[in-house]
Structure 1
Amino acid sequence: MSSEGSESTERALTSRLRLAVVRLNRRLRAQRSNASITLTQLSALSCLYKSGPLSPGELAAREGVQPPSMTRVIAALEELGYLSRSPHPSDGRQAIVALTDAGRTYIDADITAREAWLDRRLAELDDREREILARAVEIIDRMAGNAN
């Protein structure tokens, strides 16, 4: 295959992969068990679910938002009872935010709903297709881990 043909094939793969990931993400978001919070709030809760308690600044940095924006997100989630603040153990000027039991329950229900939908879609595939997807997951995880 010529260099030009190879580049065209690569661009087509890039486009197809991007669109497939966007569509899958959209379908997974549509499976939310309870849409009472925004996607930004859900992302912050998910970060705390994975990482454990963090300072508001650490949470903002991990989520890639400015601290004032995260302050509003935290306030809204605290008002809903999904997270709590406690004093920072070594810095009296800061606080630590953590999921409450209600916040953990919310995230657990959200994960369960999305994974149930995905389980149903995977059940429609044959063994070979599931094997291919298992290999693709490893590759996509590796790609996502390289921040460039």
Structure 2
Amino acid sequence: MTDTLTAPARSRRPTLAEQSTEFRLAVMRVARRLRQERADTDISATQLAALGWITTEGPITLGRIAELERVTPPSMNRTVNWLVGAGYATREASPDDGRKVLLRATPEGAAIIRETRRRRDAWIAKRYTALTPDERETLAKATTILRRLADQ
């Protein structure tokens, strides 16, 4: 009779479901940790994402931000209202079409985005230095794949 404690473990390839679960958990842990690296803890992740688009792509319409974030315009309107009320963004009429409203980051809003990005980049860079060149190359390839997954 074979002792189950000393029997060699059978190696098997994880199933697609198991791989998907492990991948999801790993991505969520990294994302959760990165979300902690931000300049203003009073701003929500959704508000920060919208402010990021406004800062990077602005002036920009509310509809375009909603499209980029894959949410409804009414939902994004609540987010943008908070950003405007907090002094992180402004609304202005489009010079091309007076019916269209454009959003622009205020200097305070842009500073929050710059500092948050700096902190997040520093967090990642610190961890990258502990990786081997092969591991960094693997992550570079994975980045392309992750972008493709996110855009589907």
TM-score between the two structures when normalised by the length of structure 1: 0.83
Aligned pairs, number:
141
Match of 1:41 in 2: 47
Long gaps (5+) in structure 2: 1-11
Q: How does 1:90-101 map to 2 (within 5 A)?
A: 90-101=96-107
Q: 1:18 aligns with which of 20, 24, 32?
A: 24
**Partner letter of residue 79 of structure 2?**
V
The offset of 1:67, in angstroms, is 2.6
**Identity of counterpart residues, as a percentage?**
38
Which structure's CA Rg is the greater one? Answer: 2
| CA-to-aligned-CA distance 1:90-121 (integer Å, 9 cap, x gap) | 43333111112221111010000111111111
**Partner letter of residue 71 of structure 1?**
N
1:117 pairs with 2:136: no
Q: Which has the higher helix share?
A: 1
Which stretches of structure 1, 4 residues or more, deviate above 6 A after TM superposition?
Answer: none
The offset of 1:28, in angstroms, is 0.5
CA distance in 2, matches of 1:61, 1:142: 17
The offset of 1:140, in angstroms, is 1.8
Q: 2:69 aligns with which of 57, 63, 68?
A: 63
Long gaps (5+) in structure 1: none
Query: Structure 1 94/29 Cα, relative in aligned 2: closer, same or farther at 3 Å?
Result: same
- Aligned residues: CA RMSD: 1.9
1:50 pairs with 2:56: yes
